[in-house]
Amino acid sequence: MTQMNEEKLILVRLGEITLKGLNRGRFISRLIGNMRRRLSDLGEFEIEQSHSRVWVRDGEGSTLSQPAVMQEAMDRLSRIFGIVSISPALSIPADYQILKETLIPYVGDLLASPGTYTFKMEARRIDKTFPVRSYDLCAELGALILETWPDRMKVQMEAPDFVFHVEIRDRIYLYHQTLEAAKGLPVGMSGRGMLLLSGGIDSPVAGYLMASRGMIIEAVYFHTFPYTGPQALTKVETLAGLLAAYAGRIRLHVVDFTETQLTLNEHCPEDMLTVVMRRFMMRIASSLARQSGAKALITGESLGQVASQTLEALVTTDMVAPMPVFRPLIGMDKNDAITIARRIGTFETSILPYDDCCTVFVSKHPKTHPSPEDAVRAERDLDVDRLVQAALDKVTVLEIVS
Amino acid sequence: MERYARLARQGANNPSSAHGGGLEAARLVQEARQSIARSLDCLPQEVYFTSGGTESINLALKGAAYAGSSLPKRALTSAGEHDAVDASLSFLEEYLDYQLVRVALQADGRMDLAQLSQALEEEPAGLVSFLAVSNETGAINPLEQVVSLVREKAPRALIHSDIVQACGKLPFSFRRTGLDMVSVAGHKIRAPKGTGLLIKAERVKLQPLFHGGRQESGLRSGTVDMPGAQALALALSLHTENLQDHYRKTLAARNFFLDCLARHPLVFHTISSAESSPYVLSIAFPGLRGETLMNALSAEEIFISTGSACGSRKAGDNRVLSAMGLEREIILSAVRISFHPDLDHDAIRHLADRIAWLHGRYAVS
């Protein structure tokens, strides 16, 4: 496509620090693979890396020149971990005259609504054979803009309305917008984790945070039909879909938990019901994790948030998990979790009321500081292995994509 | 529905147009208006076509408030109204400085007339709105008695009634009740969704909510949905013709259901009183949440509703049942079952059996 005079494309910046060292190749190829997958249904793009940047160009049948396609591609890329920021850019042949002829309509488009604006020029000359030096480029192009709009454009070095970037490489790249992206490590760099996903605010945030460290996310949801209705399951599927916009495809294991819950309700002391229920969820999730190759569990628990999240309760539940339990929200204030939930778009779904209705099995006066002995005693009348196996026999797996 | 589909297929002529097709459409709308007037015992010019119960109620209450600048800014309603009435009056409270009084319900779900009488005496009222039959419990308010009470104590007040649950199911005469306005929803009598009626006495002046082509005597601008009007008229006349027969069969169905339930060793609490409309039964099965029962039956293709609609509110939060003074445990376990004349005994017995079985399986103490 380089023979084209003008081309719309996307400039993708990567995390510089993580690029150092021996992991670099693995990092980049994983990231490019993730980008390719996430953009696949928008068309075929050429994704190539040069130095610490990746360029996304039109390939066969994709059209970044269409604003809707550009916007969707930008939106998807901004949610891919490993990308620091992105810019929609215009590339033109490496010719100074063409650059000047392109810059004026490029700036003109941005001045459609009335008013005066401030700007500055930033130029980088990577191709040193280009006849004009960076400093002169800035001065001359800036002067050109001022001449064209003497009443509307003013130069300002500190926080101007626009920064026009000009990069001279094999071609010239022009851009002025930089969108922050998800940062972190590409998903797939850090193994696989099994997320205990409820319909609440915290667990999707926990999944997001672990995915941002490069973890592939699988999820397990404990469904207690008919105490919770089909809307509760739909809600969890929606949350998994929103999370998948960041984490990529998510396998959601839906456990039919009703029988287990009824058995626990019948045979456990009321004040230990929640802790014992959490222990069964941990056991079932661990088995599912082992089956799918996940090496850790992930929960949205935060210390002291509810009775089942006291230190003692967490210790008691962790005792039945034969693998590490990651709790990225453990020291986080609820409001900070809500801020993340809002930013990643899960909050509005999380606060739908469907799971509030299932408060049937919540202890009215739960033991807030249960000891491991309390838990063992509470499970005395239960055939734990058989109950876990019975639940594992009733699992449905859903493939969730964003 | 068949008539609707046929007329909708026939063409897109605008009943307000002067050409041949338009005139024919206008004639069909007029015919529907006359038929509806016969069914509800009102005058054809008192019939206004709308998009449903909600629009009719909004038009009646807001339209009256905006038109009647000399009306006392005080509205009386019951604590058992549908959201459309409650929210419209709350709007008047917020934006037009109306004082809103919600008259308490009795234990049987009907409006407390002694309280209404007291509220009428305290200060002059400009608007009174109460429903004919409760959508939650089927409780029937005595329309004529309420109207004469209001006329006696607040002669200037405009009286509106939401008769959505009564229309086509219980005997109704607009003329005899002496109401100023009533609202009807088409889909409740098996007319298409998106059809509704406002019946308004000629003496009552309303300010329209929609402005435009001045259709419906300027009260409701927007092209009249001719096939919808025809279908609604037909549905209403069929309901009215068979009203006694339907009522008898529905009452028998409800009573048979309660008999079937009574044969099971099952504790239940009928919230609806024996005198309420047989078309709606509010009943609670303590120990089993209404939502749990609804979910379980829904999986068996049996559709009932909860007393506490989970989608919109928190469990146990039901404005109407709370106003009846019911305990939280009863409200949580309340469901609403709709009865209709075509239910056969097997289906009813099956429902009772399933509820008893599901209660045994899923009730928790």
DSSP string, B180-215: SEEEEEGGGGTSPTT-EEEEE-TT-----SS-SS-T
Whether residues B296 and A226 touch (CB distance < 8 A) is answered with yes
Q: Contact at 8 Å (CB) between A254 and A398?
A: yes
Lowest mean pLDDT among A222-231, B7-16, B132-141: B7-16
Q: Nearest CB to B292: which of A226, A265, A353?
A: A226
CATH numeric code, B2-241: 3.40.640.10
Q: Does residue B269 have a pLDDT over 80?
A: yes
pLDDT in tens, B159-183: 999 999 999 999 999 999 999 999 9
**pLDDT-derived band of residue B266, with 50, 70 and 90 as boundaries?**
very high
**Do the strands A83-93 and A7-14 form a parallel or antiparallel pair, or are they unpaired?**
antiparallel
Residue B213 has pLDDT above 80, yes or no: yes
Write down the domain spans for chain B: 2-241, 243-357
Average pLDDT over residues B212-234: 92
Cis ω on the peptide bond leading into residue A226 (within 30° of 0)? yes
Query: Which residue does chain B place closest to A258, by CA atoms?
Result: B362
> How high is the pLDDT of residue A18?
58
Residue A209: predicted pLDDT: 98
Judging contacts by C-beta atoms under 8 Å, the chain A residues touching residue B316 are none
CA distance A2 to A344: 36
**Are B321 and B271 a contacting pair, CB within 8 Å?**
yes
Q: For A192-400, which CATH class?
A: alpha beta
How many CA atoms within 13 Å lie on the side-chain side of A261?
22
B299: which chain A residues are within 8 Å (Cβ-Cβ)?
A: 225-226
Burial class (CB in 10 A: 0-12, 13-18, 19+), B291: buried
**Separation between Cα atoms, residue A286 and residue A272, nearest integer Å:** 21
Q: Do the chains contact at B364 and A229, CB–CB below 8 Å?
A: no
pLDDT value for B21: 76
Residue carrying the six token digits 């019911």: B326
Nearest to B289 among A231, A265, A360 (CB): A360
B215 closest CA partner among B64, B43, B3, B51? B51
**Minimum distance, in Å, between the CA of residue B227 and any CA atom of chain A:** 35
Q: What is the pTM of this model?
A: 0.87
Which stretches within chain B are classed as H helix? 2-10, 20-40, 53-67, 83-95, 113-122, 143-153, 174-177, 226-241, 243-262, 290-299, 319-323, 328-332, 345-362
Chain A touched by B295 (CB under 8 Å): yes
Contacts of B293 in chain A (CB under 8 A): 226
A265 near B CB under 8 A: yes
pLDDT digits (tens, 9 = 90+) for B305-357: 885 444 444 555 789 999 999 999 899 999 999 999 999 999 999 999 999 99
Q: How far is B336 from chain A (nearest CA, A)?
A: 17
Q: In angstroms, rounded to a whole number, what is the distance separating the alpha carbons of residues A57 and A8?
A: 7
Positive/negative CA dihedral, B62, B67, B71, B73? positive
Partner residue opposite B362 with nearest CB, options A226, A357, A359 = A226
| DSSP conformational letter for B105 | B
Check if A200 contacts B (Cβ < 8 Å): no
| Sequence-distant (≥ 6) Cβ neighbours of residue A12 within 8 angstroms | A35, A53, A54, A55, A56, A77, A83, A86, A181
CA angle centred on A221, ends A220 and A222, rounded to 5°: 125
Q: Please tell me which residue of chain B has the smallest CA distance to A231.
A: B311
The verdict on A353 touching B (C-beta cutoff 8 Å) is yes
Higher pLDDT, residue A27 or B254 = B254
Domain spanning B243-357 has what CATH number? 3.90.1150.10
CB count in 10 Å sphere of residue B242 = 13
**What token pair was written down for A303?**
């210390």
- For residue B216, give the amino acid letter: E
Q: Which of A227, A262, A353 sits opposite B311 (nearest CB)?
A: A353
Residue A3: per-residue pLDDT: 45
pLDDT tens per residue across span B78-104? 999 999 999 999 999 999 999 999 999
**Measured between CA atoms, how close is B329 to chain A, in angstroms?**
12
Q: CB distance from A234 to chain B under 8 Å?
A: no
Half-sphere exposure of A133 (CA within 13 A, CB side): 2
Torsion angle of the four alpha carbons B252, B257, B263, B267, in this order, in degrees rounded to the nearest 10: -130
Identify whether B42 is a catalytic site residue: no
Chain A nearest C-alpha distance from B321 (Å): 17
Give the chain A residue whose CA is nearest to the CA of B299: A226
- At A273, the amino acid letter reads L
Q: What's residue A355's pLDDT?
A: 57
Give the pLDDT score at B308. Answer: 45
Residue ranges covered by each domain of chain A: 7-180, 192-400
Q: Is B301 on the interface with A (CB under 8 A)?
A: no
List per-block mean pLDDT (blocks of 10 residues) for chain A, which spans 402 residues: 74 75 83 94 90 88 89 96 96 95 95 93 94 95 97 96 95 96 94 95 97 97 93 94 96 96 92 93 98 97 88 94 97 96 95 65 83 93 95 96 88
pLDDT of res. B92: 97
Token pair 């807030």 is found at: A368
Distance separating alpha carbons of residues B83 and B135, to the nearest angstrom: 10
Q: Among the options B42, B167, B260, B310, which is catalytic? A: B310
Place of tokens 């060292």: A21
Tell me the backbone φ, ψ of residue B145, rounded to 5 degrees.
-65, -45
Kindly state the tokens that stand for A320: 């039945």
Identify the CATH assignment for A7-180 out of 2.40.110.10, 2.40.30.10, 3.40.50.2300, 3.30.2130.30: 3.30.2130.30
Which has the higher per-residue pLDDT, B297 or A16? B297
Cα–Cα distance list, A389 to A205, A226, B59 (Å): 29, 21, 60
Q: In whole numbers, what is the pLDDT of chain B averaged over residues?
A: 92
